[in-house]
Amino acid sequence: MKRRLDVGNVALSLAAPVASLAVAVGLSALLLLISGFNPGDVLSTLWSRAGLASTWLDAAQRAIPLYLSAIAVAVGFKMGLFNIGVEGQYRVAMLATAVVGAAVRLPAVLHVGFCLMVAMIFGAAWATVPAVLKVTRGVNEVISTIMMNFIAIGLTAFLFAEVFKNTPDGDLNAKTRPMPPSSYMPNLIEQDLRALSGFLIVAIVLGIGFYLMVWRSRFGFQLRASGANPAAARIAGINPKAMIMKAMLLSGALAGLVGMPQILGERHAYGNDLQLNLGFDGIAVALLGRNNPAGMAVGALIFGFLNAAGRFLDLADIPKEIVIILQGVIVLTVVIIYELVGRVRARRTQEIAARDLEVPAVELVAA
Amino acid sequence: MAHEPVQGAEPAVAVQLTGIGKRFPGVIANHDVDLTVRRGTIHSIVGENGAGKSTLMKTLYGMHRPDDGTITVDGTEVRFRSPADAIAAGIGMVHQHFMLADNLTVLENIILGAEPTRGGRIDVKGATEQLTRLGASYGIELDLQARVEALGVGQRQRVEILKVLYRGARILILDEPTAVLVPQEVDELFLSLRHLVDDGVTILFISHKLDEVLAVSDDITVIRAGTTVATVKPGEVDRRRLGELMVGSELPVPQISAQPPSDHVTLSLNSVSATEAGRTVIDSVSFEVHRGEIVGVAGVEGNGQFELIETILGLRPASGGQIHLDGEPMEGLDVRQRRHAGLAYIPFDRQREGLMLADPLWENMMLGHEDTSRFSSGPWLRLGHARSECDVAIERFDVATPGNDVPAYALSGGNQQKLIVGREMMAEPRLLVAAHPTRGVDIGAQAAIWEELRAARSAGLAVLLISADLDELLGLSDRLLVMFRGVVTARLDPATATPEQLGMYMAGERQVA
């Protein structure tokens, strides 16, 4: 009995990603065709890049901040909170860390740790406002975090241009004061012009930590219970307000780290050439990876690969923005197919449980 | 099987179900159901909770399609794709839970979705005339201009009935219509039903309250384990026989505890009050629950029982009075602290308030107890321990499940409830607050849960039992309280209290001390 259940569910678990991939590729090809591009060209370009180690090095590098962003989002998702504000949280944290990190002098390792701490504090601080609004006034966190994003975008732009910019006016490559080398995160691999940042280790540690916290710790259980059934959690004595505060602040703190690969690993200053929108991409990766640390790693890598390989589409006279469409199609397909598979699995589980027991579980129906 | 012969020139049969079967994933909800309903009669469908009555009526009302069998209405075979088809065929359903808009008037509620229009505007005048006529002809008196929020439960039910009649129904399905009524309102309802039947309306009356069924029906069909087992006339059977048909065996006889409760007061409430949005929902409630005692709280739902529990649990602040658990004041303690102090709770609604349906049983086992040493050490969960504790609960409380890692939704209602009872009892509480501990569970699970409660009481547990099931209250309680509009209106001895007496106090009568 047990085995039958497991084999069936393992098959279902495998079917979901395979089907998602097939449907996503098919839909994307259709979209390309409608837009007047040859899907074959796009796919063959991407496919040819997939064979190169350099592409995957680039993909992994790009996947790191996406993964951090996805984990930040997933912490909220696990208790049913939608932190759409990762974008604003990490932008604020980037500027703050660049400024504070450049102002202090610390020994090498300590300086990096200090900067990460600053980033997490500012990310959490930016998430405090929606958390407090939700706990005290019941304001929906989706609305408030989106609003906080706008404030963050405006505020960072203003502070950067008017206060912290350290380059002459008219310089196209405006930056804050450069951070000292003691704050640099070293690269694990450097090859030609490509590099793989030491933040890979940070990301792996956080992924494992996320797993342990969510599935092995008491706090994680309370987090999941609050998400799975808020009414039951409340009655069980899990304080919903305290959980909202903790989850939101933790999510914000993790969001603060999203910009660190750029600040500590690449640019060593806040500037106007930073990669943005990682907060939104993180939501997509979290959805793609179904809030599972391994799944999100795969999702981040897929997004990273598409970004890395997409640059070469231009060479084939195909706009590289096609990649964004592909990413969107993949996320939608995955969400829909996993939902369908989830229903099939629920039916099967019920059927098997009822068949094993041979009890007509009529109440299930009435409920 | 005693089937009523079908005869007569004019189709004397309003509804005929033949060989109806309905399967849900892994569940046979109905099979081989045969039912013949004579025109102009009240035909009761009785059966235990979960016997398949509601599924059958949903089939008849077009809410889902049967897998087998045929439905004949007024002599023609029908296939309903939706309730709209059923309504068109003259079938109407009055649900157990009313579906009315509080802020609209009676008239507006009735015509909602089927508004008569004149020149593109709602014809209020025409509707008023039509409804007045309709009400008069069926003997249903209602103030059409009153807002529904101002109406009592009995009146709301009449609005629902009139709404269905207005849509042209000649066959009415009433799903447990008396569940929400006090005995006096039940009598009024029965009077209205008689009136309707005299006018040629056919009524399908679903219930598990045998006395009512015997009082009101022309025919009674018994459903057990998803199928019709007998059709009888009220004159031919008594309550006991009908009950035996329902459960398929001897009725479980509730028994009063043998040993007297101890003097030790486990829970005491001293003029406790609570408010909801400025309105008093519990008014100076005082009582004690002793060690080894079950105190029952009777009352029509919505008379403060829910708020009383919330206040005892610490989910709702008391606006006045004191609560003590084992002599310790509970003021300022939150739910978790009260649980640690020895309080356990079987919630009103197991799915909404008791379980994480998509998560495995062993995780559900931890809910509310995850920070005790049984389930965690330091910040980490003891997963292995949780699984073995879950196995113990499955074994001891006889939860039918393939294992501890199936998700809670895969279990039947009775087994879900047994798991919750197990979870709360295994924490070895000093006070158990049990709200409707056997609602919607099968007869076997009910007996098992009652047995557990009795055994726990004998072992010294104090139990506060809130229930709508009078048999349960009378059978389990050592003392009985009645609540009405947030006030304890009567204190009764279950050994001498009668259902009639209870009904009187539940309807608002106050006990003279």
Alpha-carbon span A289 to A17, nearest angstrom: 10
Q: Is the pLDDT of residue A278 over 80?
A: yes
The angle subtended at Cα A73 by Cα A68 and Cα A76, nearest 5°, is: 135
Contacts A–B by Cβ distance under 8 A: 156
Interface of B with A in 79-108 (CB under 8 A): none
Q: Which residues of B98-109 are buried (b: 16+ CB within 10 A; e: fewer)?
A: bebeeeebbbbb
A216 contacts in chain B (CB < 8 Å): 380-381, 383
Helix ranges (H only) for A106-239 are: 108-137, 141-159, 199-211, 218-228, 230-235
Angstrom CA distances, B494 to B230, B465, B479, B490, B498, stand at: 33, 13, 6, 12, 8
Q: Write out pLDDT tens, residues B50-107.
A: 678 878 888 999 988 898 899 999 889 999 998 889 999 999 998 877 888 888 999 9
Contact B94, B203 (CB under 8 A): no
Alpha-carbon span B475 to B452, nearest angstrom: 14
Closest to B233 (Cα-Cα) out of B224, B245, B225: B245
Contact A367 B379 (CB under 8 A): no
User: What are the residues facing B432 on neighbouring strands?
Assistant: B344, B463
User: What are the residues facing B105 on neighbouring strands?
Assistant: B147
Mean pLDDT of B388-399: 92
Contact A134, A140 (CB under 8 A): yes
Residue with structure tokens 């009639």? B500
Best mutation target among A3, A221, A222, A226 (most B Cβ atoms within 10 Å) is A221
Alpha-carbon span B277 to B21, nearest angstrom: 48
pLDDT category at B256 given cuts 50, 70, 90 is: low
Contact A270, A95 (CB under 8 A): yes
Contact A362 B55 (CB under 8 A): yes
**Residue B311 sits at the chain A interface (C-beta within 8 Å):** no
Contact B336 A349 (CB under 8 A): no
Interface of B with A in 433-462 (CB under 8 A): 440-442
pLDDT of the residue at B365: 95
| Full 3-state SS string of B187-217 | HHHHHHHHHHHHCCCEEEEEECCHHHHHHHC
Contact A354 B351 (CB under 8 A): no
Structure tokens at B286: 């005082």
Contact A232 B352 (CB under 8 A): yes
Q: Is the pLDDT of residue B497 over 50?
A: yes
Q: Write out pLDDT tens, residues A248-265.
A: 999 999 999 999 999 999
Question: CA of A145, closest CA in chain B: separation in Å?
Answer: 28
**Residue A344 sits at the chain B interface (C-beta within 8 Å):** no
Question: CA of A229, closest CA in chain B: separation in Å?
Answer: 6
pLDDT category at A295 given cuts 50, 70, 90 is: very high
Alpha-carbon span B359 to B381, nearest angstrom: 16
Task: Considering only the beta carbons, identify the residue of B226, B335, B359 that sits closest to A360.
Answer: B226
Alpha-carbon span A322 to A329, nearest angstrom: 11
Question: CA of B162, closest CA in chain A: separation in Å?
Answer: 26
Lowest mean pLDDT among A80-84, A166-170, A240-244, B308-312: A166-170
Closest to B460 (Cα-Cα) out of B263, B247, B280: B263
B29 contacts in chain A (CB < 8 Å): 360, 362, 365
Phi, psi for A199 (deg, rounded to 5)? -65, -15
Provide, for chain A, the percentages of residues in helix, strand and coil under a 3-state DSSP scheme, each rounded to the nearest 5.
Answer: 75, 5, 20
Q: Write out pLDDT tens, residues B453-478.
A: 999 998 899 999 998 777 788 889 99
User: What are the residues facing B435 on neighbouring strands?
Assistant: B466
**Residue A232 sits at the chain B interface (C-beta within 8 Å):** yes
Higher pLDDT, B25 or A93: A93
Contact A304, A63 (CB under 8 A): yes
**Residue B52 sits at the chain A interface (C-beta within 8 Å):** yes
Contact B440 A367 (CB under 8 A): yes
Contact B411 A361 (CB under 8 A): yes
Mean pLDDT of A123-127: 97
Q: Please name the amino acid found at residue B171.
A: I
**Residue A363 sits at the chain B interface (C-beta within 8 Å):** yes
| H or E element that contains B243 | helix B239-247
Angstrom CA distances, B265 to B293, B338, B344, B455, stand at: 10, 16, 16, 19
Structure tokens at B300: 């029509």
Kindly list the structural domains of chain B, giving each domain's residue range(s) and its CATH number in brackets, ordered by start. 13-247 (3.40.50.300), 264-342+429-513 (3.40.50.300), 351-427 (no CATH)
Residue of B nearest to A219 (CA): B379
Alpha-carbon span A210 to A213, nearest angstrom: 5
DSSP A209-268: HHHIIIIIBHHHHHHHHHHH-HHHHHHTT--HHHHHHHHHHHHHHHHHHTTHIIIIIIIS
Strand B219-224, strand B42-46: pairing: parallel
pLDDT category at A6 given cuts 50, 70, 90 is: low
Best mutation target among B175, B352, B356, B376 (most A Cβ atoms within 10 Å) is B356
Alpha-carbon span A125 to B502, nearest angstrom: 58
Best mutation target among B95, B346, B367 (most A Cβ atoms within 10 Å) is B367
Cβ neighbours around B153 below 10 Å, total: 14
Give Dmax (Cα) for chain A: 80
Task: Considering only the beta carbons, identify the residue of A219, A225, A360 that sits closest to B367.
Answer: A225
Question: CA of B400, closest CA in chain A: separation in Å?
Answer: 7
Long-range contacts of B279-282 (CB under 8 A, 24+ apart): B280/B319, B280/B486, B281/B307, B281/B486, B282/B307, B282/B308, B282/B311, B282/B486
Residue of B nearest to A229 (CA): B356
Q: Is the pLDDT of residue A1 over 60?
A: no
Evaluated on CA atoms B198, B178, B176, B496, the torsion sign reads negative
Report yes or no for ipTM above 0.90: no
- What is the overall mean pLDDT for chain A? 89
Q: Is the pLDDT of residue B249 over 90?
A: no
Higher pLDDT, A310 or A142: A142
Contact A359 B413 (CB under 8 A): no
pLDDT of the residue at A362: 43
pLDDT category at A237 given cuts 50, 70, 90 is: very high
Residue of A nearest to B333 (CA): A237
Contact A2 B403 (CB under 8 A): yes
pLDDT of the residue at B207: 81
**Residue A1 sits at the chain B interface (C-beta within 8 Å):** yes
Contact A351 B26 (CB under 8 A): yes
pLDDT of the residue at B150: 82
pLDDT category at A356 given cuts 50, 70, 90 is: low
Phi, psi for B157 (deg, rounded to 5)? -65, -40
**Residue B179 sits at the chain A interface (C-beta within 8 Å):** no
User: What are the residues facing B288 on neighbouring strands?
Assistant: B268
Angstrom CA distances, B366 to A7, B372, B383, B423, stand at: 28, 9, 10, 8
Question: CA of A205, closest CA in chain B: separation in Å?
Answer: 18
Contact B26 A217 (CB under 8 A): no
pLDDT of the residue at A7: 66
Alpha-carbon span A258 to B322, nearest angstrom: 51
**Residue A190 sits at the chain B interface (C-beta within 8 Å):** no
Contact B379 A234 (CB under 8 A): no
- What is the overall mean pLDDT for chain B? 86
Task: Considering only the beta carbons, identify the residue of A5, A351, A360 that sits closest to B25.
Answer: A351
Contact B357 A346 (CB under 8 A): no
Long-range contacts of A146-152 (CB under 8 A, 24+ apart): A146/A84, A146/A85, A148/A85, A148/A88, A148/A89, A149/A84, A149/A85, A149/A87, A149/A88, A149/A279, A150/A88, A151/A88, A152/A85, A152/A87, A152/A88, A152/A89, A152/A91, A152/A92, A152/A126
pLDDT category at A49 given cuts 50, 70, 90 is: confident
CA atoms within 13 A on the CB side of B82: 1
Angstrom CA distances, B270 to A27, B369, B482, stand at: 68, 28, 17
Alpha-carbon span B462 to B429, nearest angstrom: 9
Q: Is the pLDDT of residue B253 over 70?
A: no
Question: CA of B476, closest CA in chain A: separation in Å?
Answer: 24
Structure tokens at B270: 């001293």
A238 contacts in chain B (CB < 8 Å): 336, 368
Angstrom CA distances, A47 to A41, A295, A301, B73, B505, stand at: 10, 22, 15, 64, 79
Q: What residue spans define the domains of chain A?
A: 1-37+318-367, 60-316
Task: Considering only the beta carbons, identify the residue of B27, B354, B406 that sits closest to A232.
Answer: B354
Adjacency order of strands within the sheet including B462-466: B343-346, B431-435, B462-466, B294-298, B479-484, B487-492
pLDDT category at B346 given cuts 50, 70, 90 is: very high
Structure tokens at A356: 């094993």
Structure tokens at B325: 């658990």
Interface of B with A in 237-256 (CB under 8 A): none
Question: CA of A360, closest CA in chain B: separation in Å?
Answer: 5
Residue of A nearest to B58 (CA): A366
Alpha-carbon span B57 to B221, nearest angstrom: 13
Cβ neighbours around A3 below 10 Å, total: 7
Alpha-carbon span B128 to B364, nearest angstrom: 53
DSSP B511: -
Class of residue B414 by CB neighbours under 10 A (exposed 0-12, middle 13-18, buried 19+): buried
Angstrom CA distances, B328 to A235, B267, B322, B339, stand at: 21, 9, 10, 13
User: What are the residues facing B175 on neighbouring strands?
Assistant: B206
B312 contacts in chain A (CB < 8 Å): none
| Inter-helix orientation angle A293-310/A278-288, to 10° | 130
CATH of domain A60-316: 1.10.3470
Q: Is the pLDDT of residue B288 over 80?
A: yes
Alpha-carbon span B231 to A175, nearest angstrom: 88
